[in-house]
Structure 1
Amino acid sequence: MPPFTVLIANAFFGFLTLEIAGNNIASYITVLIAFVLTLVAVKVFKYIITRKIKGLIAKTKNDFANMLVDAIEKISLPFYLVIALYISLKLVSLPEPWPSYLHYLLIITVTFYSIRILQQILIFALRNGMKGTSKGVTRLFENIIKIFLWTIALLLILQNLGYKIDTLIAGLGIAGIAIAFAMQKILEDIFSAFSIYFDKPFEVGDFVVIGNDMGTVKDIGLKSTRIQSLAGPELIISNREMTSARIINYKKMEKRRVEFSFGVKYDTPLEKLEKIPKIVTEIISKIELAELERVHFRKIGDFSFVFEVAYFLKDPSYIKYMDSQQQINYDLVREFRKEGIELAYPTQTIMLEKAS
């Protein structure tokens, strides 16, 4: 009778050679060891990569590197499990359709995590490139990036699963046309938001005039633009109207040109009329931000002698303009009263002639 140890050894080797589903027990043990080693290896690799990038961040304080570390750290356990499972099961012979299922699982997993990292990189670049832009416009571009990336991911997965994506793309095109017709007005506003962003006719904080309305732009959204009017209420105007309307943007100008006129009575003596340009020049020269362009006796009107004044204000602010014009008006009234010059107002003189 063989020794006990020999019996144990024979039993053990017999167990290892025992076949289950076309593979012996030794192969499955090898798979298990390979699975554990692969799982440990990819986790160590992740640790080394993130540590290297964190070292770079500490030296350069690079925001992109910081974001990349965050993206890598978000790769969770299912990714590593699938990678380890795929590599280890390659060591054994699996009956169909299990190899195909394993291949599909790998494609779906790798595509999912790759798109997540790519999405985070693109959104990071977008936010850095659109600093100071309305949150609504930034969100619009972020959503477009997400939809585009995940649509590409879905098509890639379907193609690798053996589906013909040509028919699917054609179907999506027809559906897209139908949706576009149904949402025509909304899409017009969204495309107008793109136009406002790229063309930049106005930005948040600009003082604008649209038709009879004026105010400061508070927010540029996907569908509408909000303007804080001078009277107090908030105006909400569709982006479609904002891109089709005639807009005066005072924020873009470096200085404001102001033109105004006034009339004096017909009975004003000539010597006093000749003093008026000098009086106006002296008044405007005292205004800190004002620079006189001209003062002219423009015309003889229906009920007054009309003078026209033009000057530049070295500040685009509407409030500064109103403050300066107010001071000019006060000084004009004060100086004219000193000189005995009367401002005109509409009058009608009726001459009565006695009958002879």
Structure 2
Amino acid sequence: MIRARPDPTRQVVRIALGFVLALSTWTTIPVLASAQVPGLGGVEAVSEDTATPPDPLGRETPRGLVTGLVSALADGDAEKIRRFVETDAAGSVEDARAALDRAGEVSPSADLSLVPEGRLDDGLDAAVERIGMLRTGTKTIPLLAHRVDRDGRRIWLLSAESFETLSDWTAPAGGLANEARSWTAALPAGPTILGVPARDWALMGAFALAGYALAFGLFRLRGLVGRRIASERGPNRMSHFIAASEPPLRLALAAAIFGFGVGYLGVSVVARYQLISLVQIVFWFAGLWFAWRLIDALAEITLERMSNRGAITAYSVVTLAARVAKVLFAAIFFTFALRAFGIDITAGLAALGIGGLAFAFGAQKLVENLIGSVTLIADRPVRVGDFCRFGETLGTVEEIGIRSTKIRTLGRTIVTVPNGEFSSLHLENFTRRDVFHFHHTIGVRYETSPDQMRELLWRLRQMLLERPSVDADPARVRFISFAAYSLDVEIFAYIHAEDWNGYLEIQEAPMLDCMDIVEMCRTGFAFPSQTVYLGRDGGRTSVMAGAREAAE
């Protein structure tokens, strides 16, 4: 049995709303805590006697350095920009900024380290971090940051060599990219919005629309080719998946085009840095959307194949695996998105160890139901579509979920049972039995003679053995007891049938034959009755008289 696939667009929207809610909660809790708890003011609450006060410019980490430097570039404050560069650096701030705008590229926030030590697996020295690059013709020069001691703190600063490289950079002549940058620079800048000329915002918006239009055109062409092939080979599941995967792939392609080409527009590095994280999130979101639809398509194809083979038990396994895969992909997306927004998830992961005990106590039922789900999937006492008895209830299993199992009762109601409880019940599965038990006891009247009883037993045995639906071994008919008001005969056999309704239809014939055989043997069925025997005798006097006569 294959269920209709839920609307993926609605599911993706739910994921996005959940992410926004989680992000707002994550970023609001520290603010509320610092506002409500006396003496708590975030990092400023740390005593100077016990710890070094934080850097007011946030240069303790590579990401803090880049964020502060971009903010200083947006403000256009040359003196503030100098505070993010090693003091012995020579060169012009304006020239360095122009180089960054024309040919520079700052690493996205998601690629920058959030810890003071920086990245230790990048092949560079421990006190050196790569924070961007500068294009010079066909070559790229890395922009490096150094970790130095300054005013009793260890902070990250743009290296003097990188700053001098930016100051000495000159735009190469010729080239399509340089012509595009020159054409961009010739446009009127307009008012400044968030430290970026309105011209740059307009250019990036137009380029984003152009990139999406290009992606739309390419996928429209792919759709035409796909429909041409489908018309020749006929539609199938894969063609439906290709059509369903078009929106996420189109969005991913548009994000990739924008991320690759925006650096050649010559717009402000501040604008590019502010948008590149958003573009990455859009790209990851498109990947999550595509993975979501891919999982649904694979699950649907697998369920269809298993259903054709009669392996209905695969429904529960495939459904659970699909849900776990979706949760895994969603968790990966949220991890990257939170990191792109500058939220350090390592602290949250560390807090899991502290809060693990509280979670274990508070989520006992949840964990119990999850374990029950695994037990139901592994042991498979019941499967979707099975008719079973659990406790005192009879019903058909409709869904085995991660938390609970839904069963359609004989009254056509839905009973939802937590898997932790359901897996611990005594489950009787009627669907999985191979044969049906035909077991009846008939009682005939005590007036039945031995010869009639022998004929009755012989005819009943013949009747059972002659039926093809009855299993000959161990079919039996036996005279088993002298009951209170009947002579009891046991009829025991197994009947082959497809389902319970088929069994009820098959057993009607042997039961009617039993009635005919009882009548044929000139006896009848017994019913609760009492027999009173009346005796006539002469009493004590007549008995004594008879004894004297015999003696004489």
Equivalent residue number for residue 125 of structure 1:
298
Q: Is the 8 A contact 1:218 1:227 kept in 2?
A: yes
Equivalent residue number for residue 77 of structure 2:
none
- Does residue 300 (structure 1) correspond to residue 481 (structure 2)? The answer is yes
Equivalent residue number for residue 287 of structure 2:
114
Give the helix-richer structure, 1 or 2: 1
For residues 462 and 329 of structure 2, the distance between their equivalents in structure 1, rounded to whole angstroms, comes to: 67
Shift of 1:106: 3.1
CA separation of 1:315/1:128 partners in 2, compared to 1, >3 Å: closer, same or farther?
Answer: same
User: 165-174 or 269-278, which moves further after superposition?
Assistant: 165-174
One-letter amino acid matched to 1:308: E
Equivalent residue number for residue 152 of structure 1:
332
Which of 276, 289, 314 is 1:103 aligned to? 276
Which of 403, 408, 415 is 1:236 aligned to? 415
TM-score between both structures, scaled by the size of structure 1: 0.71
Shift of 1:336: 1.9
For residues 252 and 395 of structure 2, the distance between their equivalents in structure 1, rounded to whole angstroms, comes to: 54
Which of 182, 191, 196 is 1:26 aligned to? 182
Which of 241, 253, 268 is 2:433 aligned to? 253
CA separation of 1:262/1:223 partners in 2, compared to 1, >3 Å: closer, same or farther?
Answer: same
CA separation of 1:329/1:119 partners in 2, compared to 1, >3 Å: closer, same or farther?
Answer: closer
Pairwise mapping of residues 1-356 of structure 1 onto structure 2 (< 5 A)?
22=98, 26=182, 28=184, 35=207, 39=211, 42=215, 45-47=218-220, 49-60=222-233, 61-75=235-249, 80=254, 83-84=257-258, 87-90=261-264, 92=266, 94-95=268-269, 97-131=270-304, 143-159=323-339, 163-171=343-351, 178=358, 181-182=361-362, 184-185=364-365, 188-189=368-369, 192-193=372-373, 195-197=375-377, 199-218=379-398, 220=400, 223-229=404-410, 232=411, 234=413, 236=415, 238=417, 239-284=419-464, 289-292=469-472, 293-303=474-484, 304-345=486-527, 356=540
Q: Is the 8 A contact 2:496 2:503 kept in 1?
A: no
The Cα offsets for residues 86-122 of structure 1, whole Å up to 9 and x where unpaired, read as 5233463845x55533432332222111221122111
Q: Is the 8 A contact 2:469 2:496 kept in 1?
A: yes
One-letter amino acid matched to 1:70: A
For residues 278 and 254 of structure 1, the distance between their equivalents in structure 2, rounded to whole angstroms, comes to: 28
For residues 524 and 262 of structure 2, the distance between their equivalents in structure 1, rounded to whole angstroms, comes to: 102
CA separation of 1:350/1:193 partners in 2, compared to 1, >3 Å: closer, same or farther?
Answer: farther
For residues 345 and 178 of structure 1, the distance between their equivalents in structure 2, rounded to whole angstroms, comes to: 67
Equivalent residues, number = 335
For residues 338 and 77 of structure 1, the distance between their equivalents in structure 2, rounded to whole angstroms, comes to: 83
Q: Is the 8 A contact 1:86 1:106 kept in 2?
A: no
Alignment RMSD: 4.5
> Which of the pair has more CA radius of gyration?
2
The Cα offsets for residues 195-235 of structure 1, whole Å up to 9 and x where unpaired, read as 44554433444333345443444555653432332xx4646
Which structure 2 segments of 5+ residues have no match?
1-94, 103-180, 187-199, 541-552
For residues 27 and 227 of structure 1, the distance between their equivalents in structure 2, rounded to whole angstroms, comes to: 70
For residues 155 and 26 of structure 1, the distance between their equivalents in structure 2, rounded to whole angstroms, comes to: 39
For residues 45 and 58 of structure 1, the distance between their equivalents in structure 2, rounded to whole angstroms, comes to: 20
Shift of 1:179: 5.6
CA separation of 1:52/1:226 partners in 2, compared to 1, >3 Å: closer, same or farther?
Answer: same
Q: Is the 8 A contact 1:115 1:149 kept in 2?
A: yes
One-letter amino acid matched to 2:496: K
Q: What is the identity percentage for the equivalent residue pairs of Structure 1 and Structure 2?
A: 18
Q: Is the 8 A contact 1:57 1:66 kept in 2?
A: no
For residues 58 and 233 of structure 1, the distance between their equivalents in structure 2, rounded to whole angstroms, comes to: 43
Shift of 1:125: 0.9
The Cα offsets for residues 43-73 of structure 1, whole Å up to 9 and x where unpaired, read as 5554555555445444444422442343234
CA separation of 1:348/1:185 partners in 2, compared to 1, >3 Å: closer, same or farther?
Answer: farther
Equivalent residue number for residue 4 of structure 1:
none
For residues 55 and 149 of structure 1, the distance between their equivalents in structure 2, rounded to whole angstroms, comes to: 33
TM-score between both structures, scaled by the size of structure 2: 0.49
One-letter amino acid matched to 1:122: I
Q: Is the 8 A contact 2:386 2:431 kept in 1?
A: yes
Shift of 1:272: 1.4
CA separation of 1:153/1:216 partners in 2, compared to 1, >3 Å: closer, same or farther?
Answer: closer
For residues 79 and 298 of structure 1, the distance between their equivalents in structure 2, rounded to whole angstroms, comes to: 82
For residues 293 and 352 of structure 2, the distance between their equivalents in structure 1, rounded to whole angstroms, comes to: 26
One-letter amino acid matched to 2:241: M
CA separation of 1:305/1:203 partners in 2, compared to 1, >3 Å: closer, same or farther?
Answer: same
For residues 346 and 82 of structure 1, the distance between their equivalents in structure 2, rounded to whole angstroms, comes to: 88
Shift of 1:273: 1.7
Q: Is the 8 A contact 2:262 2:272 kept in 1?
A: no
Q: Is the 8 A contact 1:82 1:109 kept in 2?
A: no
For residues 434 and 447 of structure 2, the distance between their equivalents in structure 1, rounded to whole angstroms, comes to: 41
For residues 349 and 431 of structure 2, the distance between their equivalents in structure 1, rounded to whole angstroms, comes to: 46
One-letter amino acid matched to 2:303: M
CA separation of 1:172/1:185 partners in 2, compared to 1, >3 Å: closer, same or farther?
Answer: same
Q: Is the 8 A contact 2:407 2:415 kept in 1?
A: yes
Q: Is the 8 A contact 1:256 1:316 kept in 2?
A: no
For residues 533 and 391 of structure 2, the distance between their equivalents in structure 1, rounded to whole angstroms, comes to: 45
Shift of 1:285: 5.5
The Cα offsets for residues 124-160 of structure 1, whole Å up to 9 and x where unpaired, read as 1122223467999987665544332121012123345
Shift of 1:281: 2.8
The Cα offsets for residues 164-223 of structure 1, whole Å up to 9 and x where unpaired, read as 432222335666775664454466446545544554433444333345443444555653
